């Protein structure tokens, strides 16, 4: 089993753009379910707003965790 949880911070962390991309691709579903509107989320500025907050706090931001598992069938 493996677990992969990328994390980072600072001005140059690519995770901010990654999260904005995920938010953008889920926007139709978010709006359809009535969770938020496109205007509420302001997706075009999301990555920069997230970056500004994390950098201001000297924080670390963790991306979604990916878990993988595999098995092998033994003969017999």
Say how far apart CA 12 and CA 2 lie, in whole Å. Answer: 27
Confidence band for 74, pLDDT divided at 50, 70 and 90: confident
* Residue pair 65/6 in contact by the 8 Å Cβ criterion: no
Does the pLDDT at position 75 exceed 90? no
pTM over 0.85: no
Span 7-14, average pLDDT: 95
- Give me the half-sphere count of Cα atoms (radius 13 Å) on the Cβ side of residue 29: 5
Domain map of the chain by residue range?
Answer: 2-68
């Amino acid at each position: 089993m493996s677990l992969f949880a990328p994390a980072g911070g600072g001005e140059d962390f690519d995770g901010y753009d990654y999260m904005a991309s995920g938010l953008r691709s889920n926007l139709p579903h978010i709006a359809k379910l009535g969770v938020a509107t496109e205007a509420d989320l302001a997706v075009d500025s999301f990555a920069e707003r997230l970056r500004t907050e994390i950098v201001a706090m000297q924080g670390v931001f963790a991306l979604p965790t990916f878990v993988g598992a595999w098995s092998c069938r033994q003969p017999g």
